[in-house]
Structures are given as structure tokens and as C-alpha cells.
Amino acid sequence: MELISTFKYLRLVSLVSTYKKFNKEEFENLSIDKLFTYNFSLDDYLASELSGWSENRQKEFLKGREIAKNLLLKLGCEEKDINLERLETKECSWPKNYCGSISHARLKTSGEYTFFVATSDSSTSLGVDVEYVERFKDQISKQFMSNQENQMNNMSLDEQEYQALIFSSKEAIFKAIFPLYQKYFHFFDVELDHIEILDNDFLSNFSILNKEIKDKIQIESIKVHTNFKDGCVFSFCETKQT
């Protein structure tokens, strides 16, 4: 399932992405041993680290890496160069001259999982996020939305969808900026200033309000592409530095 193709106005040549869904039974039947062997061969340190995690968390981690590895191979990356280990910063270690982003979400009511992964050999960094819209029926928007953002929903989205769009967009932005900034930052360090509808896609522009971030990464704003599909909101953004 190629998701980026559903973003009709997104034109990135050296990028591949996909989203995959697993129902509860399919996810439970995933083999941790097979996923680990495919991704990391014999990495005793990582095996020891993962052994302290729950089975579900191990599967989430390893399945995301498996999808990312397949996308890197599709881009032409050599398998011997792919070792998507977990860095101390909790980032994924991407091969030289490649970058990517991995996201997954679980629907509590059914146990269904959705993964959204993208990789590129032409971007400086990528950020993707997937969320089930259903989870936002009980969200408190003031935890992640500014007063300005709360007043900008003049589109065809209901309140739940709009909150999902803002939250997911900011999650994607965080994933794209963190590799460059190397510090955690707050939801309110970026703010929506413009959003337009392009057919079924949404293109949002977020201003970076934190001066330290702007000075460090030399980016004033960032665009996020968002799409709603199969009960989920998918968000994608990238940075390119010369």
C-alpha cells in the first residue's frame, strides 16, 4: 500500500513510503525471532535490550524496522549497509546518505495496528506520523493546540478530525526536526499559520516559534502534508538543507 501516492500534490522523486495494517490476530502471530533475525542478524546487545520490553513493544519496534529496511532496499540501498539500530537518543540509525521515519498506532478497541514508514535519499530528514482519529474524542486540545490553532478550523473537518490533524502534524514535525536540533521541544514551539485543502489532502504551514530551534537548523517554517484514510490521519514532512 503506497500512501505517498495518495498525497496528490506531493512530488518527491527519491522517496518511498508505505502503510500497513494488521488486525489483532495478525499482529499476535508475528514472530519476534524472525523479525529480529531479518533486521539485525546476531546483535547480542540489542537482543538483551529488547528482552526487557513487552512482546507487543518488541513487535512494534521490529516490524517498523522490517518495513523501513524493505523501503531502503527499494530505493537501492545495499543490504550490507542497513543496520537500523536504536541510538542513545532513541532515534533510528539510518544508512549514510539516507534518512527515514517510522510511526505506528494501535486502536485500543480492536487491537488493530497501523504502521506508516517513509525513507528517502534526497531529504535531510523526514517526519511521519499516524494516529487513529478515534482517540481524539476525549483529547484536551489545550494540551497541544494554541488559542490561534483552536480558532482556525474553518474547513470541512469536524473537531475530532481537526485535533487529529494538528496533533499528528506536530508529531511529524518533531520527528523531522529532532535529528537536526538534537533536543526535545514542546508542542507550542511550532504553530499553524496557514492550511489549505488540495482535493482530499491538507497542506499546512507551521511557523517555528522557538528562536533557538530556528537559529540551530536555519528553518523558519515547515510544511506538513496530511491525509485521512481508513480511520487514520497520516502526516508527512521533510527538511532539505543545502
- The closest alpha carbon to 191, from 158, 137, 150, 154, belongs to 150
Distance of CA 240 to the CA centre of its chain: 17
Write the pLDDT tens digit of every residue in 127-181.
999 999 999 987 788 899 999 999 998 888 999 999 999 999 999 999 999 999 9
Distance of CA 40 to the CA centre of its chain: 22
Supply 157's cell numbers: 473537518
Confidence category of residue 9, pLDDT binned at 50, 70, 90: very low
Say what the pLDDT of residue 85 is: 87
For the chain, give the number of residues. 242
- Helix intervals (H) in the chain: 24-28, 32-40, 44-50, 55-75, 147-150, 159-181, 211-217
Distances (CA, A) of 220 to 73, 145, 189, 190, 242: 33, 19, 12, 10, 15
Say what the pLDDT of residue 199 is: 75
Distance of CA 88 to the CA centre of its chain: 19
What is the average pLDDT across 89-93? Answer: 91
- The closest alpha carbon to 18, from 32, 7, 38, 3, belongs to 3
pTM of the entire predicted model:
0.92
Whether CATH 3.40.50.2300 fits 4-239:
no
Say what the pLDDT of residue 3 is: 52
> How does the average pLDDT of the chain come out, rounded?
89
Write the pLDDT tens digit of every residue in 97-136.
999 999 999 999 999 999 999 999 989 999 999 999 999 9
Say what the pLDDT of residue 104 is: 97
Using the Cα atoms of residue 212, residue 216, residue 222 and residue 225 in order, give the sign of their dihedral: negative
Confidence category of residue 50, pLDDT binned at 50, 70, 90: confident
Enumerate the β-bridge partners of residue 228. Answer: 233
